[in-house]
Amino acid sequence: MNTWELKTLDLKPRLPEILASSDAARAILLDLAAGESLSDHEVHERAWVVVIDGAIEVRTAAGERADGGPGLLVEFAPAERHEVSASSDARLLLLLTPWPGSGHPGAMTIREKLYSRRHAAKRQR
């Protein structure tokens, strides 16, 4: 058994802390200062965001919106584009499953990574 005091864990600014990671899931704790955001992005895994402290605003590319404070739970499907903004200083727990998700660079073989890098280099030319 592992335990964490999510409200009192000492985090460094702009450095999320990976609490646990396995093939099943990854748990990450992060702080966002008021006005900061996780800009429009997507992840390869199913993602859950839990507000531990503070308040956030969430928007999806499809136009959905949610606001809330401690206790708010938001679920995103794999590859669902979204943005999370802190309305006030906020502490968030991010759960990703499975870890790493299909298409994530961490799930690629060395050969797939090499191909990806070469393909990306050709697009930049």
Residue 22 within a domain: yes
Residue 9 within a domain: no
Residue 12 within a domain: no
* 66-113 pLDDT per residue, tens: 999 999 999 999 988 999 999 999 999 999 987 665 655 565 556 655
* 68-81 pLDDT per residue, tens: 999 999 999 998 89
Number of domains in the chain: 1
What are the strands, taking DSSP E only, across the chain?
17-21, 26-32, 37-41, 46-53, 56-60, 65-68, 73-76, 82-86, 90-97
Residue 88 within a domain: yes
Is residue 51 within 8 A of residue 71, CB to CB? The reply is yes
Domain span holding position 29: 17-124
Residue 61 within a domain: yes
Residue 8 within a domain: no
**CATH number for the domain including 56?**
2.60.120.10
